[in-house]
Structure 1
Amino acid sequence: MPEVDGFEVCKKIRQRTNSPILFLTARGAESDKIKGLMIGGDDYIVKPFSLGELHARVYSHLQREERQKNSAKDSLGFSINYSLRTVHYNGVEIVFTKTEFDIIELLSTHPNMIFDREKIYSSLWGL
């Protein structure tokens, strides 16, 4: 992208929507992948990739979005609304970044699983 890089575009899009953002890029350095995911990207796909892989990743993100519609979880004073991406404790909203909420969502939707750092990275960002 000549005038603005994909990272800046991602930041601007993420300010307006929670829709999935996928990077399709030739930049395969680990630092680029981490930056893209940490600023709000949902997936980071490095060229070359097959159309089958792209289709599967897009489908996975859309399925996740569909599952999150109208889904919420309430427990011990906490209320997590996955479609609105909000968390309340005893009626008071707690504000989280996108990445923090992604981690909360992963852990709260898999209550009986143990995740180490690598598993969280892999589950959320495919690293």
Structure 2
Amino acid sequence: MKILIIEDEAKSALYLQKSLNESGYQVSVSHNGIDGLFLAQSGDFDLLILDVMLPGIDGWSLMERLRANSAMPVLFLTARDSVEDRVKGLELGGDDYLVKPFSYAELLARVRTLLRRAPLRPQEFLTLGDLQIDVLKRRVQRAGQRVELTNKEFALLHLLVQHQGQVLSRSQIASQVWDMNFDSDTNVVDVAIRRLRAKVDDGFECKLIQTVRGMGYRIEG
């Protein structure tokens, strides 16, 4: 999980970064509001730890701008300890508010709670051997060569790779890709698999898409 810290006090930021790294998180730090807002809006983080008194853009203004297009969990971490400040932080869209000085054990507990509540981000890249899938851009490459797929072919490949090594029945594939109940008299799944194989496997020594007789299909590298 990736955490962004926006904190202008260098020693505090370094302490937080080191402690959270040791707790298993990937941590990035920004020391001012302008750069911090840019990073926060990149969509690459699971949680933001935000100070209020920042150069460039203060934490209140940053929170307002961020909430215009992001639901990322935000933990205010600040020396401003009045009830009015706490209420303001939460009303602006903050998910939690912790006052300095703080206990790291309490901070870590709050971080873990917020990350449990956060929705899981879809995996952006999938790989299987020399096959690479950019999920967001819907691009596929094999051994560095671009593979052009239709929307349904991409959905089918995406499904198989998400469950790589597992056998998926024709009915499972039909319900997930075509949102339909599988009719044994319909060979739509077999035809789609055949077309996908022609694009993904033909011309390559290692065949990824496998037929499991009487059960369905799976993909393995």
Give the TM-score taking structure 2 as reference length.
0.29
Whose Rg is larger?
2
Higher helix proportion (structure 1 or 2): 1
Give the TM-score taking structure 1 as reference length.
0.50
**RCO higher in structure (CA 8 A, sep ≥6):** 1
